[in-house]
Structure 1
Amino acid sequence: MSTPGESSLQVPSDEERLQRMRYRKALARKKRKEREAAGEIKELNITAMMDMMTILLVFLLKSFASSSAALTASEDVRPPVSSTRATPKDTVAVTVTPKNILVGEKEVLRLTGGQIPPEALQGRLVVSLDAQLKKEVEKLKYIAERNPSAPFNRELSVIADKAIPYDMLLTVLYTAGQNELENYRFVVLQDEGKPQ
């Protein structure tokens, strides 16, 4: 009991202060852990993951299923007709139309009057075609180094309009040959009318 002259407030002892400090530290530690845990993912939503994987699968199948020799109907390119049974392989594709030369889908040279402009030539080499084929060959070699099932086979598919002059085709093939693309395949339309 306190006497009338003493104050009714008691000063906490050192032990009580130490316990309060420990309690405050433990409470602060608990709050900090709760804040950190709030940013963590505790469980995965498998439905969303399956949707994502399905979309990726469809995208990959679509991109791998298409062949680089796939031909879209166009007014610019009318390949010759043949009764061949060979199927096109997935190779570097050079398309020669009366208006331009493309590697894959990328235009590398615009023709003037159906001819290669003289300033685009260096001897018999088409400079812009040469630069793009170098990039394609480097990419194929890089893939072949890391993936033995996709060797660099030095093949080129040529998709050319049937009205392209032979001399222009020789110039394109010479440029391809300078870039180690020595095996040529000309893409033609299969003649459906003749019996096989």
Structure 2
Amino acid sequence: MSETLNPTVAEADEESLARLRYRKALARKKRKEREAAGEIKELNITAMMDMMTILLVFLLKSFASSSAAITASEDVRPPVSSTRATPKDTVAITVTPKNILVGDKEVMRLQNGQLPADKLQGRLVLPLDAALKKEVEKLKYIAERNPSAPFSRELSVIADKKIPYDMLLTVLYTAGQNELENYRFVVLQKEGE
């Protein structure tokens, strides 16, 4: 009788071990399924496009409402004024004692604070003329395709207070030859106003 019990006990142990292995395998499978359910297998492109559209609108709106950005430099010290007008975002010419810039790009270097004679044709500054032609073409191209951004023919002149008036007239003459007829001088506002 003891011989018959041993095989049944052994079979019972094997059967319970098989059940235990099955339960462990089942638990492992369920755990992996739970973990896999939390994983992102593919991106939802619709939600991403919605997010990008919102960001684009926000950035365009904040860019459109910002005033003109003027880069501060040791070379340029604009005169001080009591004006309350705010600068507009236009083509900007910066005249320093060392060089002339259109936007942030240097167009030409001055020699001893003067315009080089070989770069002049009468009152026309040739490198400045070429740079302004490119800017005006770009603005006209934008105006053709975007009616809300018309070509305003406006120019902002940022000049050091020590720049001679005759040089400013030459720069303004060159700008006028490129259809930039409405100009504003950028000045610093007096403290406390």
Structure 2 length normalisation: TM-score? 0.70
Aligned to 1:15: none
What is the CA deviation profile of residues 77-133 of structure 1, one whole-angstrom value per residue up to 9, with x for unaligned ones? 100000001111111110101111011111101111111111111111011100010
2:35 matched to which residue of 1? Answer: none
CA contact (8 A) 2:69 2:89 kept: no
SS in 2 for 1:148: coil
Distance 2:135 2:187 in 1: 23
**Residue pairs, 1:89-168, within 5 angstroms:** 89-168=88-167
Residue 54 and residue 108 in structure 1: after superposition, are their counterparts in 2 closer, same or farther (change >3 A)? same
How many residues are matched?
Answer: 153
Q: For 1:171-195, what per-residue CA distance to the aligned partner results, in whole angstroms no more than 9, with x for missing partners?
A: 000000000111110000111235x
Q: CA RMSD in A?
A: 2.5
State the SS of the aligned residue for 1:145.
helix
Mapping for residues 174-185 of structure 1, pairs under 5 Å: 174-185=173-184
Provide closer, same or farther for how the CA distance between residues 49 and 153 of structure 1 changes in structure 2, counting only shifts above 3 A. Answer: closer
* Unmatched runs of 5 consecutive residues or more in structure 2: 1-40
* Residue 77 (structure 2) aligns with: 78
Does the C-alpha gap of structure 1 residues 99 and 61 become closer, same or farther in structure 2, counting only changes over 3 Å? farther
More helix by share: 2
Q: Which runs of 4+ in 1 moved over 6 A?
A: none
